[in-house]
Structure 1
Amino acid sequence: MRTAAYVEILDREGALLAAAAEAAGTDAEVPTCPGWRVRDLLRHTGMVHRWATELVAEGHTGPRRADDPPALDGGPLLSWFREGHERLVGTLAGAEPGVRCWHFLPAPSPLAFWARRQAHETTVHRIDAESARGGEPTAVGADFAVDGIDELLCAFHARPKSAVRTEGPRTLRVRATDAPDAVWTVRLSPQPPVTVREEDA
């Protein structure tokens, strides 16, 4: 997927998240995040949005700690979330393709990394907000869902810190049911998993 497509998804998903959070109310429990209420979800996602914005906009080449979210609630918290989301979308849309900044997974460029990562981060938490609101969740496009699985298996779990390990060697085959050409082979061992995606398998 292209960076611009990720930014479009991020824009849409953040708006859906805010709408679902507003409909649910900030005191509503989030079934998909036990122990959280909607206010916790907004504070977390808003904090991550601002952290990513700062890294890209200011070109930090090393990791930086995210600022703690403010102790807002209700309407002011929703406004704070929407403002931070809008700033992130604008920063990613307006950034130079060659912008240099810290990122923590392999990617074609730092900008491509942050657009992809924030699109998926926001989509996951949009689904959380819709679970708090109740009713049918908004569908995730098959191509984007496949991309999220790919990020999880080929990037997140390829890191040395991955806890997905086995005492003896094992092999998993992961196949997307609504995208038959998306197949991954995951080799497990005492070391971090090694995943290969097989196109048109």
Structure 2
Amino acid sequence: MEIPEFVETLDQEGRSLAAAAEQAGPDVKVATCPGWQVRDLVRHTGMVHRWATAFVAEGYPTYHPDGGLPELDGAELLAWFRDGHRRLVDTLAAAPPDLSCWSFLPAPSPLAFWARRQAHETTMHRVDAQSALGETPDTVTRGFAVDGIHELLRGFHGRPRSQVRSRTPRVLRVRATDADAVWTVRLSPEPPVSEWGVAAGGDVDCELAGPAARLYLALWNRLPFPDLTGDASLAALWREKSGITWG
């Protein structure tokens, strides 16, 4: 996907998040984020939007702390969220292709990183906001879902801080049934190593398969896995250890 596509997705998903949050109300529990109410979700996502905007707008070359969570609530909180979301979208859309700033996952450029990361961040939290309504979340395009799986497996869980580990070597395959997309995740006491496009033939201990959009949400622990074959303990390991924490 190209940068303008990520920015457009970010724009649409932020609007949908705000609409779902407004409909649900600030006190409603977020089913996909245990311990959170809608206000917590909106505060967190709005804080992340402002944090990301600062890197792109100011060109910070190293890590810069976020501004913290606001004390706002209700209509004031939603207005704050919408303002920060709008500024992030506009800042990314206006940024030069040769933007230089800090980023934390592999990407073709810092601008590509921030556009991609914020599109996926906002999409996942839009799903959370819709879960507060008790609704089946809106789906995403197949291409965007494949990209999100790739970012999660090869990006987040390619880092030393990933806790998805096994005492003995194990192999987990992730396969999108509606796309030419297969990932082989090799688990050991070290951080996982994910290989893209490895042939579906090879020995694996467990396979998680399904349409890309379902897999995307399942791997981010928002939905059950569509189809599981082999050792279910690896799916349980993923559920327990794959969470991405803030900070």
What is the TM-score of this pair, normalised by structure 2?
Answer: 0.79
Partner of 1:67 in structure 2? 67
Q: Is 1:195 matched with 2:221? A: no
Partner of 2:142 in structure 1? 142
Cα distance, 1:27 vs structure 2: 1.0
Q: Is the 8 A contact 1:164 1:188 kept in 2?
A: yes
What are the equivalent positions in structure 2 for 1:37-116 lying under 5 Å apart? 37-116=37-116
Percentage identity across aligned positions? 65
Write out per-residue CA displacement over residues 5-37 of structure 1, whole angstroms, 9 at most, x where no aligned residue. 000000000000000000001111101111100
Partner of 2:30 in structure 1? 30
Cα distance, 1:177 vs structure 2: 2.9
Taking the aligned partners of 2:153 and 2:49, their CA distance within structure 1 comes to 23
Q: Is the 8 A contact 2:184 2:198 kept in 1?
A: no
Partner of 2:5 in structure 1? 5
Partner of 2:176 in structure 1? 176
Partner of 1:155 in structure 2? 155
Taking the aligned partners of 1:96 and 1:196, their CA distance within structure 2 comes to 32
Q: What is the count of residue pairs matched by the alignment?
A: 200
For 1:127, give the aligned amino acid. V
Q: Is the 8 A contact 2:60 2:101 kept in 1?
A: yes
Q: Is the 8 A contact 1:51 1:67 kept in 2?
A: yes
Stretches of structure 2 lacking an aligned partner (at least 5 in a row): 201-247
Secondary structure of the structure 1 residue equivalent to 2:183: strand
For 1:152, give the aligned amino acid. L
Taking the aligned partners of 1:200 and 1:90, their CA distance within structure 2 comes to 41
For 1:54, give the aligned amino acid. A
For 2:196, give the aligned amino acid. R
Secondary structure of the structure 1 residue equivalent to 2:132: helix
Cα pair distance change 1:200/1:88, threshold 3 Å:
farther
Stretches of structure 1 lacking an aligned partner (at least 5 in a row): none
Taking the aligned partners of 2:198 and 2:170, their CA distance within structure 1 comes to 21
Taking the aligned partners of 1:146 and 1:12, their CA distance within structure 2 comes to 19
What is the TM-score of this pair, normalised by structure 1?
Answer: 0.96
Question: RCO greater where, 1 or 2, for CA within 8 Å and sep 6 or more?
Answer: 1
